[in-house]
């Protein structure tokens, strides 16, 4: 049976830090809007404190998470064990988008690996932490991180990435403001 936590305990933090992948879930306020779930990797997650986490948001073809968090702040992070004992951890909270023009941006930049494709950091104040056993999730073997995004960003260059964001990240699929 799952447990509820008020904080990220040291044991839970240790488990989270071993995970190679996590999922981000957000939704717009409108019931007509689309729920979004995004997989993340590349060492882009940090526990900032027992009640606060952050992740490095890298340039992608969409901007749903940023648009939803800017609109209503609701966000959930899910970690899933693909090796070892079955376990899922969900971190529910209120998100804040930290863009390069934010005075806190350099603070977050120091906490994460350098990526040319970094477009923002998402800081999350946690309101609920839950774990559960998940007996139906299969085992997977981790091979390595993909280098596709890094190669793409290197090929685009700084100006090319900015042009891509202006084209693809201006608004969400539901028309909400992105970046």
Q: 55 and 46 in contact (C-beta within 8 Å)?
A: yes
pLDDT in tens, the chain (179 residues): 589 999 999 999 999 999 999 999 999 999 999 999 999 999 999 999 999 999 999 999 999 999 999 999 999 999 999 999 999 999 999 999 999 999 999 999 999 999 999 999 999 999 999 999 888 888 988 999 999 999 999 999 999 999 999 999 999 999 999 99
pTM: 0.94
Task: Please name every residue paired with 79 in a beta bridge, in sequence order, or none if there are none.
Answer: 89
Chain segment 136-153, per-residue pLDDT in tens = 888 988 999 999 999 999
Tell which residue, 96, 120, 126, 125, has the closest CA to residue 108: 120
Sign of CA dihedral 168, 170, 172, 174: negative
| DSSP-derived 3-state class of residue 160 | helix
Domains and CATH numbers, the chain: 3-168 (2.30.110.10)
Q: What are the phi and psi torsion angles at 53 (to 5°)?
A: -130, 165
End-to-end C-alpha distance for the chain, whole angstroms: 41
Q: How far apart, in whole angstroms, are the C-alpha atoms of residue 22 and residue 24?
A: 7
């Amino acid at each position: 049976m799952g447990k509820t936590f008020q904080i990220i305990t040291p044991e839970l933090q240790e488990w989270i830090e071993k995970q190679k992948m996590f999922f981000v879930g957000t939704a717009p306020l409108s019931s007509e809007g689309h729920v979004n779930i995004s997989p993340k990797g590349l060492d882009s997650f940090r526990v900032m404190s027992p009640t606060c986490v952050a992740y490095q948001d890298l340039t992608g073809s969409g901007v749903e998470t940023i648009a939803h968090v800017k609109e209503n702040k609701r966000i959930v992070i899910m970690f899933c064990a693909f090796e070892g004992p079955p376990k899922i951890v969900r971190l529910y909270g209120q998100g804040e988008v930290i863009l390069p023009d934010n005075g806190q941006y350099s603070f977050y930049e120091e906490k994460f690996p350098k990526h040319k494709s970094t477009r923002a950091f998402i800081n999350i104040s946690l309101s609920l932490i839950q774990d559960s056993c998940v007996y139906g999730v299969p085992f997977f073997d981790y091979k390595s991180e993909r280098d596709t995004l890094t190669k793409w960003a290197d090929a685009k260059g700084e100006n090319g990435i900015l042009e891509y964001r202006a084209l693809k990240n201006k608004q969400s699929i539901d028309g909400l403001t992105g970046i």
